[in-house]
């Protein structure tokens, strides 16, 4: 389901045709919208919209432009209204130094006051920040906003600012500016973990291309979804699922999701073999507490048995068209080499190419050369190298076996490249990884191909 996490349907722009606007949203697949208020009158207007339209939920708060209007009466009304069932957030609140329509001291005071209200009512926060990012982050930290989390609406920053937002436990709202030719958002958006964003329009403002200069509306969130999918090299359905799960976990408290054994992603079927690994890479998502990947919970409590893996893949394969089956997940599949090979042998009957994603420790783990066994069932093997020498590998990948693990990986690559399997060796563009040195190391191995993978920022979650 598509969700527009930031709309202003109460504005005069929609006064004459709101019904038609919502019909177009439904036709585009939008199943829920978060109506966000900004001043005193919009509180009651938001309440009315949530009561009249099943798909509309609400956020109550006073925009920094209107901070000067905050008083005891308005505060009392906001607090009372936050008890309504469909009011799920406080917002939009924050700081705006671009227009300075309220004195900055007043903006600070009202922002802090509303964070306190969010904490008291245990509601996440919808943040407005314009040319005030350092102060917004500082105030959120000082007031303990991490306890409730929230969304940075219309996020304007780059990867460095995004890292600060994620460290605070907040999500990033991505909207129409992602599609603008002059936008700096695409590079940041490609670096985000798949569990760190939601989609929004901010309608009637910030319409995506090709509608710039026109009124924005919720149906256009599909354009944002499609643009983000193209940038990240995934399917629109992957972006839609990721954004929906993150939104529901934050706004509706749906924290618990059953672990996933097999999942559809990028037009392929991925198989989550194990949660165990012989590396503890500094950049690995396993080191985060948030183990969601495009809406799937990959945190296995128990490794699945071979029949479970086979059944999970077969259930997906019967429901769609896929390019390949990838043995992957958050752990190292060759920690369970026998089970991995047995599952792969059975799944060959589906007629899809089989790929193994590995850290290259398989021979070292199993104390024998397992490449011939792998080559008997897999069409391709992808090996994560991420370092060109022993010392760098030990520092970045932190293998259980120490520096000797690097030699084991190179030997595994040589044997895999000499087998019938296609052999691709990858390195992450993480700071400190010498990509050119990695490329040269792979070039020295006949039959091995090299590919650079994109590093995604880290997510903090208590």
* pLDDT score at 452: 98
Q: Measured between alpha carbons, how far is residue 235 from residues 85, 294, 381 in Å?
A: 34, 10, 23
Predicted confidence (pLDDT) per residue in 326-336, tens digit = 999 789 999 99
- What's the average model confidence in pLDDT over 289-298? 88
Instruction: Answer whether residue 42 shows pLDDT above 70.
Output: yes
Per-residue three-class SS string for the chain: CEEEEEECCCCHHHCCCHHHHHHHHHHCCEEEEEEECCCHHHHHHHHHHHHHCCCEEEEECCCHHHHHHCCHHHHHHHHHHCCCCCEEEEEEEEEECCCCCCCHHHHHHHHHHHHHHHHHHCCCEEEEEECCHHHHHHHHHHCCHHHCCEEECCCCCCHHHHHHHHHCCCEEEECHHHHCCCCCHHHHHHHCCCCCEEECCCECCCCCCCCCCCCCCHHHHHHHHHHHHHHHCCCHHHHHHHHHHHHHHHHCCCCCCCCCCEEEECCEEEEECCCCCCCCCCCCHHHCCCCEECCEECCCCCCCCHHHHHHHHHHHHCCCCCCCEEEECCCCHHHHHHHHHHHHHHHHHHCCCEEEEECCCHHHHHCCCCHHHHHCCCCEEEEECCCCCHHHHHHHHCCCCCCHHHHHHHHHHHHHHCCCCEEEEEEECCCCCCHHHHHHHHHCCCCEEEEEECCCCCCCCC
Cα dihedral value 229, 231, 233, 238, nearest 10: -20
Predicted confidence (pLDDT) per residue in 122-152, tens digit = 999 999 999 999 999 999 999 999 999 999 9
Distance CA 458, CA 103 (A): 35
Distance CA 126, CA 118 (A): 10
Question: Please, which pLDDT band fits residue 3 given cuts at 50, 70 and 90?
Answer: very high
The alpha carbon of 48 is separated from its chain's Cα centroid by a whole number of angstroms, namely 32
* pLDDT score at 257: 82
Predicted confidence (pLDDT) per residue in 9-18, tens digit = 999 999 999 9
Instruction: Answer whether residue 461 shows pLDDT above 70.
Output: no
* pLDDT score at 255: 73
Predicted confidence (pLDDT) per residue in 228-239, tens digit = 999 999 999 999
Predicted confidence (pLDDT) per residue in 385-394, tens digit = 999 999 999 9
Question: Please, which pLDDT band fits residue 288 given cuts at 50, 70 and 90?
Answer: low
Nearest residue to 171 via CA among 127, 233, 226, 237: 127
Distance CA 246, CA 150 (A): 11
Distance CA 188, CA 186 (A): 5
Q: Tell me the pLDDT of the chain averaged across its residues.
A: 96
* pLDDT score at 287: 64
* pLDDT score at 254: 80
List of domains in the chain? 2-251 (3.20.20.140), 262-453 (3.20.20.70)
What's the longest Cα–Cα distance across the chain?
Answer: 76
- What's the average model confidence in pLDDT over 38-58? 98
């Amino acid at each position: 389901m598509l969700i527009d996490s930031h709309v202003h349907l109460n504005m005069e722009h929609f006064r004459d045709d709101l019904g038609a606007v919502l019909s177009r949203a439904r036709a585009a697949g939008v199943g829920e919208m978060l109506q966000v208020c900004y001043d005193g009158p919009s509180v009651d207007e938001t309440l009315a919209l949530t009561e009249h339209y099943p798909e509309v939920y609400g956020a109550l708060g006073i925009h920094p432009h209107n901070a000067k209007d905050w008083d005891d009466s308005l505060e009392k009304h906001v607090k009372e209204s936050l008890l309504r069932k469909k009011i799920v957030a406080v917002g939009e609140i924050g700081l705006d130094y671009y227009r300075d329509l309220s004195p900055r001291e007043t903006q600070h005071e009202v922002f802090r006051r509303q964070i306190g209200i969010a904490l008291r009512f245990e509601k996440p926060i919808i943040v407005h920040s314009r040319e005030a990012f350092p102060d917004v982050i500082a105030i959120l930290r000082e007031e303990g906003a991490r306890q409730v989390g929230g969304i940075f609406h219309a996020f304007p920053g780059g990867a460095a600012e995004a890292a600060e937002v994620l460290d605070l436990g907040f999500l990033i709202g991505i909207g129409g500016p992602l599609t603008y030719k002059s936008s700096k958002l695409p590079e940041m958006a490609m670096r985000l973990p798949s569990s760190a964003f939601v989609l929004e329009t901010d309608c009637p403002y910030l319409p995506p291309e090709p509608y710039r200069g026109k009124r924005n509306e919720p149906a256009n969130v599909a354009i944002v979804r499609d643009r983000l999918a193209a940038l990240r090299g995934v399917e629109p359905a992957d972006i839609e699922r990721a954004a929906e799960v993150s939104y529901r976990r934050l706004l509706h408290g749906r924290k618990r999701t059953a672990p996933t054994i097999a999942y559809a992603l990028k037009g392929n079927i991925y198989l989550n073999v194990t949660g165990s690994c012989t590396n503890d890479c500094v950049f690995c998502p396993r080191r985060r507490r948030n183990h969601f990947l495009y809406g799937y919970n990959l945190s296995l409590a128990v490794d699945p048995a071979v029949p479970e893996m086979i059944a999970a893949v077969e259930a997906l394969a019967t429901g769609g068209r896929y390019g390949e089956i990838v043995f992957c997940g958050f752990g190292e599949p060759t920690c369970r080499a026998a089970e991995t090979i047995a599952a792969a042998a059975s799944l060959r009957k589906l007629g899809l190419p089989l790929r193994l994603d590995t850290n290259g420790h398989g021979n070292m783990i199993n104390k024998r050369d397992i490449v011939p066994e792998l080559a008997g069932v897999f069409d391709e093997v992808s090996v994560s190298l991420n370092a060109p020498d022993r010392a760098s590998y030990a520092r970045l990948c932190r293998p259980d076996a120490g520096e000797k693990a690097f030699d084991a990986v190179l030997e595994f690559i040589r044997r895999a490249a000499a087998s019938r399997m296609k052999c691709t060796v990858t390195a992450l563009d993480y700071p400190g990884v010498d990509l050119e040195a990695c490329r040269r190391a792979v070039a020295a191995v006949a039959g091995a191909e090299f590919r650079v993978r994109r590093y995604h920022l880290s997510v903090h979650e208590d």
